[in-house]
Amino acid sequence: MSDPKTPLRDREEEGGRRSAYGRLTSGLRAQGTGRVVSPGQLLVGDVGTADPDADGVALAEYALQHGLRPSAQRPTIWNYIAQLWRRRHFIIAFATARNIAMYTEAKLGQLWQVLTPLLNAGVYFLIFGLLLHINRGIPNYLAFLVTGVFVFNFTQRAFISTSSVIPTSLPLIRALQFPRASLPLAYVIIELQQMVLSMVVLVVIVLASGEPITWYWLLVLPALLLQTVFNVGIGLLVARLGSQVNDFSQLLPFLMRTWLYVSGVLFSIGTLSLRTHRWLIVLLQLNPAALFITLVRNALLVSQRLSQPGAQPYNAAKCHIWNTLGHQAGASTQYQYDSAYCHPYANPDYFWYYGVGWAVLALLVGFFIFWRAETRYGRG
């Protein structure tokens, strides 16, 4: 069962006609060869007219003369941003509507928005807090773990949902005209709304684990803002990828799992003792997921801020104690803070700059790449 593509038209005739009339305006993509001609000399692709002035004019030129524009033309990047801004209410309404619709079938309804992160945290508490007693030398391991899981989840879910946003929204794309970047943007906003609720749960858990409230907590807001901007950027990027490479969604779970394991969700990258591969550790620490996790952890958890390498002046003896005794299974809590006396692999003072860098870079690249294919998303 094959439907061979019909030759679009007789190329020779096309070429001949183009040169003979030479009425094609340059700078327009995908121009047709139709003309407006008086009846009697009509060729395929021509339109008859009774207007003697228009006789023999190329259709494209005729349209432009009358102030018409190509219907599927990509707007300039500045126009595109303006269009998106005008659609801001739609984007937010669309995101909120989908968020609400997600739980209408469930008996507990909107309560699931809070229950889901709570149960997530519960699983980790059960396994790591009660069953395994693993802390790998990290103080307040439960809060450390749950913070990492929640922050990573935000990026992970944004990544996964935007990768399929174009195929799943195809009916909408083929019915209404709007800047297509609205869709990945709305999907990231959905995840942001869920993240805000997760943060409420997280705050409760962190307080319950014995961390004090400090002014540093306010730093969570800029950290989440940067992460959201970053998520929008990669959301736009993977939305375009997902619209063109269908196999991408099959590959995604493996990508995400790898990313989870290298981003220090379950362990602290900064206190790894792989001295020979210093560059590798720096690389892991500066990957965007790890970076945003570290920023939030340092904001919320005093135990993290005080125990991260570089927090105290270097002290070879204490660092050595931590490297040997601190890593032992069931090590006493007295060694846990000694990692602060080690050299940091990447300087934590610069983490905010790196975070801004990642967010801006992702947004610029993602937006540009998504915009490039703006008119093609309806094709499927």
Partner 1 sequence: MAEPMVVVDDLHIVYKVYGAGGDRGTAATVLLRVLGRKTRGSIREVHAIRGMSFIAYRGDAVGVIGRNGSGKSTLLRAIAGLLPPEEGNVYTTGEASLLGVNAALLDDLTGERNVVLGCLAMGMSKQEARDKFQSIVDFSGVGDFIDLPMKTYSSGMGSRLRFAIAAAKSQEVLLIDEALATGDAEFRVKSHARIQELRSQAGTVFLVAHNLEEIELTCNRVIWMERGQIVKQGEDVISIIDEYIAASGGAGIARDPVTRARIKTQTLDSATR
Which stretches of the chain bind partner 1, using CB under 8 A? 1-3, 5-6, 8-9, 28, 30-34, 36, 44-47, 49, 51, 53, 58-60, 62-64, 66-73, 86-87, 89-90, 93-94, 97-98, 100-101, 104-105, 171-178, 246, 375-376, 378-380
Nearest distance, CB of residue 267 and partner 1, angstroms: 37
Task: Show Cβ contacts of residue 144 under 8 Å, excluding neighbours closer than 6 positions.
Answer: 138, 268, 297, 301, 303, 304
Provide the minimum distance between the beta carbon of 9 and partner 1 in the complex, in angstroms, as a whole number.
6
Q: Which is nearer to partner 1, 57 or 142 (CB)?
A: 57
Cβ atoms 80, 180 nearer than 8 A: no
Rounded to a whole number of angstroms, the minimum distance from the CB of residue 112 to partner 1 is 14
Cβ burial of 108 (10 Å; 0-12, 13-18, 19+) is exposed
Give dist(CA 79, CA 72) in Å, integer: 14
How many CB atoms neighbour CB 263 within 10 A?
25
Q: How far is the CB of 252 from partner 1 (least distance, A)?
A: 17
Q: Work out the angle at residue 239's Cα, subtended by the Cα atoms of residues 237 and 244, and round it to the nearest 5 degrees.
A: 100
CB-wise, 131 or 176, nearer to partner 1? 176
Least distance (Å) from partner 1 to the CB of residue 263?
A: 31
CA distances from 339 to 254, 305, 324, 336, 347 (A): 32, 11, 11, 7, 14
Q: Considering the complex, state which of residue 96 and residue 120 has its C-beta at the smaller distance from partner 1.
A: 96
Q: Return the structure tokens found at 139.
A: 């103080």
Nearer Cβ to partner 1, position 94 or 358? 94
| Count of CB atoms situated within 10 Å of the CB of 214 | 13
The residue among 34 and 122 lying less far from partner 1, judged by its C-beta, is 34
Cβ distance 301 to 144 under 8 Å? Answer: yes
Give 97 or 364: the residue with its C-beta nearer to partner 1: 97
Min. distance of Cβ 105 from partner 1 in angstroms?
A: 7
Beta partners for residue 37, in sequence order: 48
